Amino acid sequence: MSSTASSDNPFAGQFTDLLSEKVGGKALSCSDEWFAECANLVLQSDPVFKEGHFVATGQWMDGWESRRSFGRTDHRSGNRDFDWCIVKLGIPGVIHGADVETTHFRGNAPEFAALEGAWVSGDLSDETQWFEVLNKNTTAANSHNYFSVNCEKTCTHLRLKIYPDGGVARLRVYGVPKVNRDNFVEGELVDLASVANGGRGVACSDMFYSSPSNLLMPNRGINMGDGWETKRRRDAFNDWNIIKLGLIGTIRKVIVDTAHFKGNFPDTFSLEATLSDRDDMTADDIKWHSVIERTPLHADQEHLFIKQIQVAQDQKFNHVRLNIYPDGGVSRLRVLGFPDWDNTT
Q: Is the dihedral of CA 204, 208, 213, 214 positive or negative?
A: negative
Distance, in Å, from the CA atom of 293 to the CA atom of 152, rounded to the nearest integer, reads 41
Same domain, 164 and 192: no
Residue type at 137 in one-letter notation: N
Region of residue 305 (left: phi > 0; alpha: psi -120 to 50; beta: else): beta
Same domain, 219 and 152: no
DSSP reduced 3-state for 214: helix
Same domain, 192 and 327: yes
DSSP reduced 3-state for 341: helix
Q: How many distinct structural domains can be found in the chain?
A: 2
Domain-ending residue, one of 150, 177, 204: 177
Terminal Cα distance for the chain, rounded: 33
Region of residue 225 (left: phi > 0; alpha: psi -120 to 50; beta: else): alpha
Same domain, 7 and 154: yes
Q: Read off the pLDDT of residues 149-196 as tens digits, 9 standing for 90 and up.
A: 999 999 999 999 999 999 999 999 999 999 999 999 999 999 999 999
Same domain, 161 and 41: yes
Domain-ending residue, one of 177, 203, 232: 177
Domain-ending residue, one of 146, 177, 208: 177
Say which DSSP state 36 is in: B
**Where residue 117 sits, what CATH number does that domain have?**
2.60.120.260
- Give Cβ neighbours of residue 181 (< 8 Å, ≥ 6 apart): 341, 344
3-state helix, strand, coil in the chain (%, to 5): 5, 40, 55
Q: Read off the pLDDT of residues 80-137 as tens digits, 9 standing for 90 and up.
A: 689 999 999 999 999 999 999 999 999 999 999 999 999 999 899 999 999 999 999 9
Same domain, 41 and 147: yes
Same domain, 38 and 127: yes
Q: How far is CA 204 from CA 199, 218, 244, in A?
A: 14, 20, 12
- Give Cβ neighbours of residue 169 (< 8 Å, ≥ 6 apart): 40, 41, 47, 61, 62, 63, 101, 102, 103, 104, 105
Residue 296 clears pLDDT 50, i.e. is over it: yes
Same domain, 109 and 240: no
Same domain, 214 and 173: no
Number of other CB atoms surrounding residue 197 within 10 Å: 21
- Confidence (pTM): 0.90
* Residues of the domain holding 61: 3-177
CB 119 within 8 A of CB 95: no
Q: Read off the pLDDT of residues 26-75 as tens digits, 9 standing for 90 and up.
A: 999 999 999 999 999 999 999 999 988 988 888 889 999 999 988 766 65
CB 341 within 8 A of CB 181: yes
Same domain, 172 and 199: no
Same domain, 286 and 207: yes
Q: Read off the pLDDT of residues 203-254 as tens digits, 9 standing for 90 and up.
A: 999 999 988 889 999 999 999 999 999 999 999 999 999 999 999 999 999 9
Report the number of secondary-structure helices (H) and strands (E) in the chain: 0, 23
Same domain, 56 and 171: yes
Strand partners, 59: 54
